Amino acid sequence: MAREEALLSTEIVNRGIESSGPDAGSLTFSVRVRRRLPDFVQSVNLKYVKLGYHYLISHAIYLATIPVLVVVFSAEVGSISREGLWNFLWEDTARYDLVTLLAFFGVLVFTLSVYFMSKPRSIYLIDFACYRPDDELKVSKEDYIELARKSGKFDEGSLEFQKRILQSSGIGDETYMPKSVWLPENCSTMKEGRAEASEVIFAALDELFEKCRIRAKDVGILVVNCSLFNPTPSISAMIVNHYKMRGNILSFNLGGMGCSAGIIAIDLARDMLQANPNNYAVVVSTEMVAFNWYPGSKRSMLIPNCYFRMGCSAVLLSNRRPDFRRAKYRLEHIVRTHKGADDRSFRCVYQEEDERSFKGLSISKDLMEVGGDALKTNITTLGPLVLPFSEQLLFFATLVKKQLFGGKDASKPYIPDYKLAFEHFCVHAASKTVIDELQRNLGLSEKNVEASRMTLHRFGNTSSSSIWYELAYLEGKERVKRGDRVWQLAFGSGFKCNSVVWRSMRRSRRPSRNNPWLDCLDRYPVPL
């Protein structure tokens, strides 16, 4: 019972004066019960702490062995004088020492060779592009309700529910939606899906190729992620066909993996670049709004209609050493967490049909709790890789204290300050509630979550591409400096929570063009 109470917040709302009935003239109130993220940083699973350190020391054996071998080898050589070296090499009495010296030298060379052969190649992010639709596709919250009413697809109860969701969503009046969703006929067709995919993806890729000054035929690896629209031939095949890419390109199409699939796509591209040297990889992240539009009246399936908006990102990665000079970022870490083994986590975001056979995405009331558990696991694993030693020491001190003394009087685990590990945060702009709870639990400042809030306000929830609109915001504000660390955090159906960490290679400059925020950057941040 206490656990349930911790996950609920109660809000009493004055609904005004009752106009008729037995209670006429009296004040009426309604009580809203809202689920919130649990205080997941207050309870720690040691299994995931160990997993994080396992990632950290995977190559540490070489880093520990090489200095020892160097010291021993130097001591052996340094102890021999010039005259003694001649005797050491030619007299029979020195044969044993010569064998020892050569053995140490051989082990040193072997260890160095294994280390450099097993060390992953550096992966560079050359640049990225975010699609910005035409202004004629802008839809304000008021226009949304009016257009939805005129479409004839929703009853008054459904319209009122969507209106309440929009008012508290954190979404502004300049987000973009396809015109087809407002037509009376069905918009969830393959034709509409392909039309929207062609519009958003090709525009983003055209911009990327122009910014990076490369040809489509130079790309050796293509990874596309779109969760709910998966035609045949695939979207990746659409791209290959449109740009006439080379025949030996390694293409992949990820479907059904939710809003965190953008980081999964980066992870796949990284693995492919490790296996294919001197190559370029393009990662495209998007979602089709019209194809996933729900025209029914089931409340849990109407929520995605209110949040999801048009968007697409295209990212160029490289493992070519010459690209070190022009790259924007270097890939540091990727940590992925999957909670799909738990049935409740598996079904908290679920595509299904309602009683009228209308297809849609159903959002469970358990989403906040499930998301909190996945996030707790992810950041617990990520912590040892990125946190300063002082933070890890304080964390373990309080953790050991709790293990030794236990009980209610034991101190809570020390909550690491992730602001010491990262200069910039790009948290998936899912909803205002999610951003609020993440800020509270991680102890982030308003400036830390500014990019997420403003992206939600300006572009809405663009699914897996939202973290790139956030990074474009930070670059547009010229906040990213050389050496800064950027944490992109996303979560989605499955249930999955994924993190990627980038290191900035150069200072960002105010863009003259090709930035989705260019026409409105001076107006942001806006008060919410």
Nearest to 297 by CA among 305, 308, 287: 305
CA distances from 101 to 32, 72, 104, 201 (A): 77, 9, 5, 61
- List 365's β-bridge partners, or say none: none
pLDDT at 25 over 90: no
Q: How far apart are CA 208 and CA 328, in angstroms?
A: 13
Quick check: 310 pLDDT over 90? Answer: yes
* Rounded Cα–Cα distance for residues 247 and 70 (Å): 48
| Tens of pLDDT, residues 480-515 | 999 999 999 999 998 999 999 999 999 988 776 789
**Nearest by Cα to 296 from 357, 233, 237:** 357
Residue 469 makes CB contacts below 8 A (sequence gap 6+) with 130, 311, 313, 429, 455, 458, 459, 462, 516
Degrees to nearest 5, angle at CA 373 with 370 and 378: 125
Average pLDDT, the chain: 83
List C-alpha distances in Å: 67 to 62, 70, 71, 105, 108. Answer: 9, 5, 6, 13, 9
CA 182, CA 521: separation in Å to the nearest integer? 29
Percent of the chain at pLDDT > 90 equals: 62
Reply yes or no on whether the pLDDT at 320 is more than 50: yes
Mean pLDDT confidence for 239-250: 96
**Each residue of 357-391: pLDDT tens digit?**
999 999 998 888 898 889 888 988 888 888 888 88
Q: How many residues does the chain have?
A: 528
Q: Is the peptide bond before 322 cis (omega within 30 degrees of 0)?
A: no
Quick one: which of 310, 304, 451, 430 has its CA closest to 370? 430
What is the distance between the alpha carbons of residues 63 and 347, in angstroms, rounded to a whole number?
44
Beta carbons within 8 Å of 46's beta carbon, 6+ residues apart: 399
Do residues 337 and 377 make contact, with C-beta atoms less than 8 angstroms apart?
Answer: yes
Buried b / exposed e along 26-60 (16+ C-beta atoms within 10 A)? eeeeeeeeebbbbbbbeebeeebbebbeeeeeeee
pLDDT of 260 above 50 = yes
- Please list the active-site residues: 259, 338, 424, 428, 457, 461
Give the burial class of 336: count Cβ atoms within 10 A of its Cβ; 0-12 exposed, 13-18 middle, 19 or more buried: middle
For residue 130, what are the β-bridge partners? 313
CA distance 65 to 246: 44
Could you tell me which of 462, 266, 469, 510 has the C-alpha nearest to residue 450?
469
- Rounded CA-CA distance 23/511 in Å is 60
Residue 432 CA: distances (Å) to CA of 164, 312, 454, 456: 14, 21, 10, 8
| Dihedral of the alpha carbons of 404, 406, 410, 416, in degrees to the nearest 10 | 70
User: From its phi and psi, is residue 264 left (phi > 0), alpha (psi between -120 and 50) or beta?
Assistant: alpha
Task: Summarize pLDDT for 97-155 with one digit per residue, the tens.
Answer: 556 666 766 766 766 666 555 567 899 999 999 999 999 999 999 999 999 999 999 99
Query: Structure tokens of 230?
Result: 């998966």
pLDDT at 29 over 50: no
Per-residue burial over 422-447, b if 16 or more Cβ lie within 10 Å, else e, is bbbbbbbbbbbbbbebbbebbebeee
pLDDT value, residue 469: 97
Q: For position 527, what pLDDT does the model report?
A: 86
pLDDT at residue 101, rounded to an integer: 63
Provide the token pair at 448.
Answer: 């830390």
What is the model's pLDDT at position 393?
79
Beta carbons of 129 and 314 less than 8 angstroms apart: yes
Full-prediction pTM beyond 0.95?
no
Please state which of the ranges 33-47, 160-174, 253-267, 307-321 shows the lowest mean pLDDT: 33-47
Residue type, 252: F
Residues 519 and 472: beta-carbon distance below 8 Å: no
Number of H helices, E strands in the chain: 17, 15
Q: Which neighbouring-strand residues pair with 333?
A: 501
Which residues, 6+ apart, have CB-to-CB distance to 159 below 8 Å? 145, 148, 149
397 confidence band (pLDDT: 50, 70, 90): confident
